[in-house]
Structure 1
Amino acid sequence: MKKILLLLPLLVLAINTNAQTKFGVKGGMNVSNLTGDLQNNKSKIGFYAGGYATIKIDDKFAFQPEVLYSAQGTKFNSIQAVVPEYGPVTSDLKFNLDYVNIPLMFKYYATEGLNIEAGPQVGFLVSAKGHAKANVDGQKVNDTGDIDELFKSVDFGLNLGLGYELRNGINFGARYNFGLANISDVGGKIKNSVFSIGLGYSFK
């Protein structure tokens, strides 16, 4: 939170002193996973949504700060466990990690509309839940619980992506987030990995 408070005055100053600023909204699909000291986990589908400001520096370069709500995490299929009351149990497990991410993207326009982007990102964990789905003694069981204690509250990563902007304000983008920080709070190393595709609209 302190980092956000330090960044906001600088971003507001940059926006107010540049006439070529456009505000917009964006959203799309995440394909996320957790990498590191985990085994047999798979990617899960989520979403992201939020807003941005595109500040044109010149014809070739722009700076784009964003605030995005992002549903991330990972899943495990057919996990084997022994429950004392029921014996061996096979279950599917999801880690649903919801973040408020703040990407600070620098964009290079290779041609009109087509841009390459890169920049750092800080993420703040707002919700962490585990969801288990199993068949126990012939009955289907669904259980959800908080797993906040397993993960650190702040993440840091690097984004790389491509985008294309139409003259009517509609834009398309694909981005990959490399998690650089260890988000495990219980030992070992775990990092976020997120591929995103989506649509946006810049207001004129």
Structure 2
Amino acid sequence: MKKLFLFIALGLFLVTSSFAQGEIRLGVKAGLNLASIGGDAYYTGFGGFNSRTSFHIGGLVEVPVTDKISVQPEILYSSQGSKTNYGFGTTENSKLDYLNIPVMGKYHIIQGLSAELGPVIGILVNAESVDFETGLVGETKDQYKGLDIGIGIGASYRLPMGFFGSLRYNKGVTDINDIKDEDFNAKNQNNVFQVSAGYSF
């Protein structure tokens, strides 16, 4: 699965590079994730899912297509999931780690400022639950599907010297549950708000 992921990433880079109409930029980025799980069984408070704070880190390539439009494939390690409140003081941290490939179409509004929209393809690399009271860790990867697809929307601002900041919201559109139980039919999706800082050259 990881080899397929890297093959897709390489293919995207080669395809977008072939349409380049200007200087291609390479960059790195990292930042904060505010992640949650939404869907049929989503509700906050007693017995529900709450936001989990974590991180993302990775690299990007920005390929200009016209003066106003560019394409930006990225490869990010993104730690997602949620906090789950079961009531009676019992809270569990559901940790879902993905290798994500966002492919952002960027529209440059003014110098430095751009709006972003595009698909986000994720490969699940690790899943575990951590009980806050006992510290016990349980492997849960078999409960989730290996592939996740979402839509990312956001904005970024790049300074002339190459440093940039961005805000993005990734809305999951596919069901992440893979629990093989005929009595369980809930559908859930990943939702992630990201604040990033980086450098491109």
State TM-score, norm by structure 2.
0.88
Residue 44 of structure 1 aligns with an amino acid whose one-letter code is R
Question: Could you tell me the percent identity over the aligned residues?
Answer: 35
Sort the Cα spacing of 1:93 and 1:200 in 2 relative to 1 into closer, same or farther, 3 A.
Answer: same
Sort the Cα spacing of 1:100 and 1:10 in 2 relative to 1 into closer, same or farther, 3 A.
Answer: closer
Map Cα deviations across residues 150-181 of structure 1 (whole Å, 9 max, x no partner).
Answer: 11010000000011011000011000001000
Q: Report 1:94-173 matches (<5 A).
A: 94-134=93-133, 141-173=134-166
Map Cα deviations across residues 37-82 of structure 1 (whole Å, 9 max, x no partner).
Answer: 14421001010000000001122110000000000000023634xx
| Alignment partners' CA distance in 2, 1:25 and 1:72 | 20
| Alignment partners' CA distance in 2, 1:99 and 1:7 | 14
Contact 2:153 2:170 in 1 (8 A): yes
Sort the Cα spacing of 1:17 and 1:59 in 2 relative to 1 into closer, same or farther, 3 A.
Answer: closer
Deviation at 1:96, TM superposition (A): 0.4
| Alignment partners' CA distance in 2, 1:3 and 1:25 | 19
| Alignment partners' CA distance in 1, 2:12 and 2:33 | 29
Contact 1:71 1:99 in 2 (8 A): yes
Match of 1:32 among 32, 35, 47: 35
More strand by share: 1
Match of 2:198 among 196, 200, 203: 200
Corresponding residue for residue 14 of structure 1: 16
Count of aligned pairs: 188
User: Which of the two has higher C-alpha Rg?
Assistant: 1
State TM-score, norm by structure 1.
0.86
Moved more, 1-10 or 141-150: 1-10
Match of 1:76 among 84, 88, 102: 84
